[in-house]
Chains A and B, each alone.
Chain A
């Protein structure tokens, strides 16, 4: 009888273990896909710096002008709410001309419905979810949902709403309006020229003067904007950042527009694995996915508290907007595939941009000593089958060995690597390393004898 119970218990444990493995495999697979595009922009290094800084007491807001958003699949606190408006009372409480704009405004049908009656929109939701993912580890950034109208009049009206809200915020020292710092626009109108739309272009300058940057996607076509036109890409505004699309190998996507003067930088939007409007994770690509990486990074920067930075945001919002754009474009990594076809020839690097911001305020000490000599930050997937990725932190450029040991500490394999200061991504091919099924320990050591922490890994 005891033996039967024991067998039953073992069977039950085996089922639970298999279910756990299945869950772990799925979870790790999702994590890998989610991490790829963020790794490319040195997001993890940027977050590491953020952890060392104080939080801006004013919560920055990012306006997303796009399709409706299925808000119920996001964390509630990420959405901005107009605290000067009483929800659904039919009165324009804050006197801004929009009745019940508590959650934002729908410019396509001039209503308060920013969720499309709760069902969202295939484009609005994933654009929002890319920004949300980037700001999720910030010290508090919120999203304002504005549903885009199709006509140029409606587009200008939606941008003017942001202008009005930030202007009110600036003029009342935060008593009214909203602290909007950036607007994401993953859309545009093909084959139009700025010279024909002066009013539309002027709104970007007006927004910039109040401290708001606009981030815009270029068309998903292999064409030179300067030859065929595009709006708003051809607007000549210091406060507009136009973004094209590259992949995680830093190649420009063939179906992405370019322009030596009209396109600023690229971001790795291709194959962004993100939350879709179905409520499930999946792929979303195109230049629409590139721009939100830049917008999210700007949100991260504004969430940092540095005394002078904070005072400048209050008193010189226009200067700060210019500075943030400078940090974004100059912090980008030069990449070959953008040579001669974009203004700054670089791909977004969130870590570099944040470092430039600290340098400007003479606070480089904040990021100088944040990395440990050697530290394994994480390993994924774990359990692993074919290959495993190790995130390894280092305080300087150096040669290291990544050792694979058994549980008794006996070294079974040793892989040499050159790591840079920051968080490095190292990929180990399990078959190449002749690792059979079992449990192993990974650790790293430098030539000077510094040894990292160790992490267990299961090979299946």
Chain B
């Protein structure tokens, strides 16, 4: 962790951040690992954007009983890469980042496609990789492969 990084103190003092842990990017690829509050991501995204960082990707992890959203931010002009994790729920939509970062649009659609997590405020939250009539979210732990799903329009006609 580069101590001269301007975002370091700002992130430490942000109320959205629960825990900030420095890391060695040579070892695991990240300079900083953040645990953040469920609703705190748009505020942090604005902070990252103001300090020359871009959204690398959004993904999620299904731990079985809970889900977690993962945001990775990087900067082009200095060695700085951050992973931010926050809890997510299938019941309650997470706030969308599209208002702040347009790059989040398709990323959030992919997370919705694969995990079924919804984002409040997303302009067009629909499936991006799977057919639009699919009725499953394949990266969830409770997904059972092998059953017939949506998008099988060509089956049966050739069987």
B partners with A: no
Which B residues lie at the A interface, using CB under 8 A? none
A interface, CB within 8 angstroms of B: none
